[in-house]
Amino acid sequence: MQTTGSLRPIYICGSTATGKTGVSIALANAIGGEIVNGDAYQVYQDLDTITAAPSADELAKAPHHLFGILQPSEDFDAHKFLDIAKPTIAEIQSRGKVPIIVGGSGMYLKFLTHGVSPVPAGDDTLRAYLETLTAEAQIKKLVQLDPIGAADTNLKNRRYVIRALEICILSGEPMSKLKTDWKQSSLEMEKHLRGFLLDWDRGLLRERIGLRTELMIKHGAINEVRAVHEKNNFSKTSIKAIGVRDIIDYIDGEITQERCQELIFFATCQYAKRQRTWFQKEQWIKPIAMNPETQVQKVIDLILTNL
């Protein structure tokens, strides 16, 4: 998202358990900002513990938006997030406040910062036709429509070839041109973006994730999930929140509580690794090295210095 002046949004990014909540609250209080949720699962009510949403005490320390706004039965995706986040940010700015977007859901933040990719969605009818062609015919057609894109595509993977053909045919332009134009547009947008990555050593982060997982189980995550599960109230989106399926398996007697906690820990570590990889590729996001001795005020000072 592009705005002008000092009210441009500030993005506080990072893997799970990196301390984004505490930093965002301190930053909001320091600059008169308001916090906007950028996490795919903290939008849900009744799942505060398992999604590590801000506590009631934390919510009271600064204005927060888009936390706990959906029932677990509702589906959600990056497009829907964009539809509600953009007007929320604009409304905050209209009051002379700085929006502080906080989260670890890379695709959600990408939609917000760079807009939706011009690459067209798939078409079932076209795809069905393309799948009737031989692999040789598919490749020949792709080379004709987009020789540059074909050279960059794994031609041994029919799914990739078919998707590349879909893009060329539906858009009326070579896939490679769309990607080049999008990249140039993105680079221009990034000149106006302000983002910071809370970056922890992997070993230290694993320790934090282990402690968080233990506290989640101790502080009611199982009962939280049970209450929603008993009402058959999980949507195909909310059930994907890390730990939900594992806790359901425990509730249904398929695994022990100890195994449940182990699975949540491992899944969270894997997710954190994917998040870290995603954010490190975003050149506009400035990393801030974190460790157990790092004071929140020092982080705030670094952010303010680099705005």
* 101: three-class secondary structure by DSSP: strand
Say which amino acid occupies 182: W
- What is the spatial distance between Cα 115 and Cα 82, in angstroms, rounded to a whole number? 9
What's the number of domains the chain is made of? 2
Compute the half-sphere exposure of residue 9: CA atoms within 13 Å on the CB side of its CA: 29
My answer on whether 298 and 183 are in the same domain is no
CA distances from 35 to 2, 18, 85, 97, 106 (A): 17, 17, 11, 10, 17
pLDDT for 78: 93
Q: Determine contact, residues 216/264, Cβ cutoff 8 Å.
A: yes
The pTM of this model reads 0.85
My answer on whether 295 and 262 are in the same domain is yes
pLDDT for 5: 56
Do strands 10-13 and 98-103 pair parallel, antiparallel, or not at all (unpaired)? Answer: parallel
My answer on whether 74 and 217 are in the same domain is yes
| CATH code, 150 | 1.10.20
Q: Determine contact, residues 37/43, Cβ cutoff 8 Å.
A: yes
Region of 17 on the Ramachandran plot (φ > 0 left; ψ -120 to 50 alpha; else beta) = left
Task: Decide: residue 59, CB within 10 A, 0-12 exposed, 13-18 middle, 19+ buried.
Answer: middle
pLDDT for 69: 98
My answer on whether 131 and 177 are in the same domain is yes
pLDDT for 13: 97
Q: What percent of the chain has pLDDT over 90?
A: 88
Task: Decide: residue 15, CB within 10 A, 0-12 exposed, 13-18 middle, 19+ buried.
Answer: buried
My answer on whether 79 and 200 are in the same domain is yes
What six digits make up the tokens of 93? 């700015």
Q: Determine contact, residues 224/238, Cβ cutoff 8 Å.
A: no
My answer on whether 265 and 142 are in the same domain is no
Choosing from 187, 206, 223, the residue where a domain stops is 187
**Residue ranges, the chain, pLDDT below 50:** 1-4
The 10s digit of each residue's pLDDT in 110-133 is 999 998 877 888 889 999 999 999
Q: Which domain, by its residues, includes 168?
A: 124-187
